[in-house]
Every structure is written in C-alpha cells, then in structure tokens.
Structure 1
Amino acid sequence: MNDVTAVAQLVLHERRARDRGWWDLMREFLAPDAAIRLSWFRGRGAAFIAASQEMAARGDAATHILSPATVDVVGDRAVVEIGAAIHLRGDLHGVEVDLTSHARLLYRAERRGGRWLITSLDPVYEYDSLAPSTPGTAVWLEADVLARARPSYRMLTCLLSAKDYTIADDLYGDDRPEPVRQLYRTLFDWLRADTKK
C-alpha cells in the first residue's frame, strides 16, 4: 500500500471506529498526544477517546458521512482534508431532532515507528441545519444561545449547549475566513518543514 492510500485509510478507519464505538481500535489510529480541537472537546488524543466514550454513553453519538480524502505526503508527514456531514439525533427541549453539520476535517498524520498515526484534527465548520425528526413538530431554540452562536455551527451550538456541553467560540469556520487561511498555511508549512532543512 502506498503512503497516500495508507494515510487515507488511516483517517477513514479512525472515523469508522469512533462512529461504531470501537474504542480499542480507535486507539490504534490516534496518537495519544494528538491535538484535537472540536466544537465540544479540546485536548489530547487519549483524552478524546475517553470523552468520546462518555459522549456515546450519554446517547450523543454522531455518525460521519465522509467524502473522498485529499492526501498530501512529504516524507514522514501528511496532511489530509476530508469533507464530512456529521449527523446527530438528539432531544432538544423534549423534541427529537436531527442535526446535520457540514465541515471539512483537516488532519496531520506522522509516520512513527514505521506506522502512520493521526497527530492532529481541526474541523473547519461550514454550515449546519436542524429539523424535527417528526415533520411539522415545533422546535424551540433558546434565543440567547441562538443570538451568540456562530453562523458556521449555529445549530450544533444550540443542540449541544442544551445538553450541557461547552461549545468554543474560536473554532475554524467559513464565517471567519482569515483564521481558516492561516490554518491551511500552517498545515502546509508544517508538511514541508523537513524539506527546508
């Protein structure tokens, strides 16, 4: 298997393991010191797996529908971009709702000890939507949460805040293009850093 294919399969297997609750398998793909920065979590890889287990135990498990991955490899480093539609069914103030959050997942991966591992994950949130699972049912949104929520992950903020998750306001999103441009520059500078030595 060439490196591009190996890295693409790495991120696909990690997402599948998380969606299915295969926590031991997820550990095989994610470096313990990986930097993870999501709407509801910020920390290292090992803590992310534990927090994902807790989230699933609360009934808040998400499903990721993924686009083909774009992979750039330079030596023992790789950058991956993969489009994702993140689906979450949950209860919002007594009404069952379906959330879809559209994002681009940006990964760093490194070859360590002869195998590829994910060493960072940063989503770029694009937009989201929320609908009642039963059409025609009224959904109540808290006006103050809605007013302060970022456009790129507004509905995600409303749903997860109602479940007592703390949602960061400084995430990457298409509503703030300059930090997103800087993220891409940082990723590709890191990717090519070894070639500049």
Structure 2
Amino acid sequence: MRSRVVEHDDPTPRSSSATIAADVTAVAQLVLHERHARDRGWWHDMRRSFADDSRVRLSWFQGTGPDFVSASERMAGRGDVSVHRLAPPVVDVNGDRALAVVPAGIEVRTDLDGVEVDLASYARLLYRAERRHDGWRIVALDPVYERDTLSACLPGTPLTVTAAELAGFRRPYRMLSYVLGRRGYTVAQDLYGDDRPDAVRGLEQAATDWLRA
C-alpha cells in the first residue's frame, strides 16, 4: 500500500507519523471493505462505509451512497453480479480528509443471445473520505474508466458485436455500456474516462483542492 502526506503551508505538524499511518490504514481498509462487501452481498457492511450525504457517480448509477447500496442490492437480486479485482490503493491524508485511488478490474459473467460471455472493465476508483463522529466514511466515489474487453467464455464460440451496436458508446467503457444496456440499464456517456484527459485532470485537481481545503 502506497501513501503520502499532503504538504501544508503551516510548518507545524498536525499529527504524528504514527497517527498519519493509522489514518492511511483506516482509509485503505474502508474503501477495500466497501468493494469487498459489494462483491459478497454484505449490504449492511457496505452501507456503513458511506456517509449519509455521500455521492456516487458511475456507469449505471448516480446518487447518494446509501441509495447506491440499495440499488446494488436490487441489481444483485436480478442476477447481475460482478467481482472487483483491486490493486493496492494510493492514499493521501490531510487532517480529517483523505483521498484514495484504487486501480480496479470489474469482472462480469453474463449471457448475450445464448452465449456465455466475460466482460472485464478497468478503471481507477477515486474515493473521497472524511473522518466523521463515528469514524472514517466515504463521501464521494468517481471512477475513471480506462478500457474494457468482451469475450466468449468458451473458446471458439462465435460472438458477434457490430460496430453499429457500439456506435455512440465511449471507448473506455463501450463494452460495459453495451452489456449493461442489453441488461436494461441506462449508462451515462459523460463519465470520466482516459479518452477525455482534460476532464480527468479537472476531477483530480478538484479532489486535491478539496483535500487541501
């Protein structure tokens, strides 16, 4: 797990190295437990990760953290489940605020026209967290989509997806958009993705400004 402490204009340290290390660990575990709870269907644990006034904006959902948990539970109830393969998070701490960036691979196994398929979507999950009266809680989650792939589970099985079917979908998450659309979900096409680097830099700068505030 990598971490760094944001520099302050005030030369006086706000907390000891041990306290900072403890906060970095707490925030890293917070975001990892949130993803783990979603994969396992532990909705109560997932809900505890979010502040009531938190905000989530991703492919198929935009709203508060608690509503995201409820929507995830309904999604799983329909049989639409996913698994998140996470890399070590990068955590920045400034007092009672923190940023965590988690590289992730989101894996979905589903059916398209009778063909069992594997969807893999790769993204960086940018979490904002705050220390509240009951501990660290997630206050915002914004993925930055990188790329995705779609393949038949059984090698050699024909899988036809035409360019026309993908028209209008953004390159970093076009397969994700296609599969979720086929499953009845509406996917926003104005999300953060590596095909729009200026928007991504704006998100990162806004998150850094929030952290330093």
The residue type equivalent to 1:98 in the other structure is D
Post-superposition Cα deviations, 1:49-81, rounded to whole Å, max 9, x if no partner, equal 110001111111110000000000101000110
Aligned ranges for residues 10-21 of structure 1 at < 5 Å? Answer: 10-21=30-41
Matched, 1:23 2:43: yes
CA-based RMSD of the aligned residues comes to: 1.1
What secondary structure, in the 3-state scheme, does the structure 2 residue paired with 1:131 have? strand
What secondary structure, in the 3-state scheme, does the structure 1 residue paired with 2:154 have? coil
Which of residues 126, 130, 141 is equivalent to 2:161?
Answer: 141
Superposition deviation, residue 145 in structure 1 = 3.5
Structure-2 residue corresponding to 1:33: 53
Which of residues 137, 142, 145 is equivalent to 1:125?
Answer: 145
Percent identity, aligned pairs only? 58
Which of residues 142, 151, 157 is equivalent to 2:171?
Answer: 151
CA distance in 2, matches of 1:167, 1:110: 28
CA contact (8 A) 1:88 1:100 kept: yes
CA contact (8 A) 1:93 1:140 kept: no
CA distance in 1, matches of 2:92, 2:175: 32
What secondary structure, in the 3-state scheme, does the structure 1 residue paired with 2:167 have? helix
CA distance in 1, matches of 2:70, 2:63: 11
* Range 132-141 or range 50-59, more displaced: 132-141
**Shift >4 Å, 4+ stretches:** none
What secondary structure, in the 3-state scheme, does the structure 2 residue paired with 1:2 have? helix
CA contact (8 A) 1:145 1:157 kept: no
**Number of aligned pairs?**
193
Which of residues 36, 45, 60 is equivalent to 2:65?
Answer: 45
Structure-2 residue corresponding to 1:97: 117
Structure-2 residue corresponding to 1:68: 88
The residue type equivalent to 1:13 in the other structure is H
* Range 137-146 or range 86-95, more displaced: 137-146
Superposition deviation, residue 114 in structure 1 = 4.4
The residue type equivalent to 2:74 in the other structure is E
CA distance in 2, matches of 1:145, 1:39: 18
Superposition deviation, residue 142 in structure 1 = 5.4
State the structure with more CA Rg: 2
Matched, 1:179 2:202: no
The residue type equivalent to 1:40 in the other structure is W
Structure-1 residue corresponding to 2:102: 82
CA distance in 2, matches of 1:53, 1:154: 24
CA distance in 2, matches of 1:145, 1:182: 31
Superposition deviation, residue 93 in structure 1 = 2.1
CA distance in 1, matches of 2:200, 2:162: 28
Post-superposition Cα deviations, 1:96-135, rounded to whole Å, max 9, x if no partner, equal 1000001000000000004000010000000000001111
Matched, 1:59 2:79: yes
Superposition deviation, residue 30 in structure 1 = 1.2
What secondary structure, in the 3-state scheme, does the structure 2 residue paired with 1:17 have? helix
What secondary structure, in the 3-state scheme, does the structure 1 residue paired with 2:185 have? coil
The residue type equivalent to 1:120 in the other structure is A
Superposition deviation, residue 16 in structure 1 = 0.3
CA distance in 2, matches of 1:168, 1:145: 16
The residue type equivalent to 2:28 in the other structure is A
CA distance in 2, matches of 1:112, 1:145: 46
Unmatched runs of 5 consecutive residues or more in structure 2: 1-20
Normalising by the residue count of structure 2, what TM-score does the alignment of the two structures yield? Answer: 0.88
